[in-house]
A and B are shown apart, each in its own frame.
Chain A
C-alpha cells in the first residue's frame, strides 16, 4: 500500500501545476522575428526575466501585450527583460499581432512551434507568465493576463529582485 501511495505522489508531482521555487526550464528556440537565429534563456543568466507564454489567438494575451511594452520601456537599460514565447501555429500571425502593438520591437519573442515550453512549465492557462530571478529560480507565476491593477505589484517585485 505504501508503494502505491508513493507512486501516486510521484505522478501527482510530475503532472501538477505550481512551480514557484523551481529552476526555470532552459530553452533554445528560434527568434520570432528571425527564425534562423535562436534565443536561449542562458543569454539572460544573472538577469531578472519575465517569461511569458502567449498566442495571437488568445484574448488575454492581446490585452496584456501593450502593458508589457510599456513595462519593458520603463525598465530599459536595466537587468530586467521580458521574453515572450509564442505557440501560434503560423508564426506570421504572431508577428503581425506583435508588430501592431510593439512597433519599436521592444519585446523579444521566441517561436515555440512544438509547444515545448507550455509542457515544460506545466502551463494551466493562457497567458501564463513566470518571473525568474537572477539565480534562475521562478519566484512568481501569473496565470491569466496581467492588467493595470496588478502591474504595480509586478513592478515592485521586479525592483526588489533587481535590488533597487
Chain B
C-alpha cells in the first residue's frame, strides 16, 4: 500500500513540476517582445562584445579559436 502511495505521490509531484516549469508555445507572447531579448539594443551588444574581447583576451576571448595567449 505504501509503495502505491509513494508511486502515486511521485507521479503527482512530477506532473506538478512539469506544469510549473513548462511554458506552452502559445503562452510566449511576453517572451517574444523585444525588451525580453538578452541584448535588446544591437549597437550596445556589439560594444559590449568588443569590451569583453579586450578584457578577456588572455583567457581565450569568446571563441574556441587559438589558445588564449593574449597575442591577438
Instruction: Report A's interface with B, CB cutoff 8 A.
Output: 4, 8, 53, 55, 57-59, 87-89, 115, 118, 123-126
**Residue pair A87, B7 in contact (C-beta under 8 Å):** no
Q: A87 contacts which chain B residues (CB < 8 A)?
A: 26, 29
Contact mask B19-63 → A, CB, 8 Å, 1/0? Answer: 000001111110011000000000000000000000000000000
Query: In the complex, which of the residues B25, B29, B32 contacts A123, with contact meaning CB atoms closer than 8 Å?
Result: B25
Please list 30 pairs of residues, one from A and one from B, whose beta carbons are closer than 8 Å in the complex, sorted by A's number: A4-B4, A4-B7, A8-B11, A53-B26, A55-B26, A55-B29, A55-B32, A57-B28, A57-B29, A57-B32, A57-B33, A58-B32, A59-B32, A87-B26, A87-B29, A88-B29, A89-B29, A115-B26, A115-B27, A118-B24, A118-B25, A118-B26, A123-B24, A123-B25, A123-B26, A124-B25, A125-B25, A126-B25, A126-B26, A126-B28
With A and B bound together, what is the CA distance between A8 and B10 in angstroms? 13
Give 6 nearest A-B pairs by CB, closest first: A118-B26, A57-B32, A126-B25, A125-B25, A87-B26, A57-B29
With A and B bound together, what is the CA distance between A88 and B27 in angstroms? 10
With A and B bound together, what is the CA distance between A55 and B32 in angstroms? 11
For the complex, would chain B's binding face be called helix, strand, loop or mixed by DSSP majority? helix
Q: B4 contacts which chain A residues (CB < 8 A)?
A: 4
Task: Name the residue of chain A whose CB is nearest to the CB of B32.
Answer: A57
Q: A53 contacts which chain B residues (CB < 8 A)?
A: 26
Q: B11 contacts which chain A residues (CB < 8 A)?
A: 8
Task: Name the residue of chain A whose CB is nearest to the CB of B33.
Answer: A57
With A and B bound together, what is the CA distance between A57 and B35 in angstroms? 13
With A and B bound together, what is the CA distance between A123 and B28 in angstroms? 13
Inter-chain pairs besides A59-B32, A126-B25, A126-B26, 16 sampled, C-beta below 8 Å: A4-B7, A53-B26, A55-B26, A55-B29, A55-B32, A57-B33, A87-B29, A88-B29, A89-B29, A115-B26, A115-B27, A118-B24, A118-B25, A123-B24, A125-B25, A126-B28
Q: B28 contacts which chain A residues (CB < 8 A)?
A: 57, 126
With A and B bound together, what is the CA distance between A153 and B65 in angstroms? 43
With A and B bound together, what is the CA distance between A57 and B28 in angstroms? 9
A139 to chain B minimum Cβ distance, whole angstroms, is 22
Task: Name the residue of chain A whose CB is nearest to the CB of B4.
Answer: A4
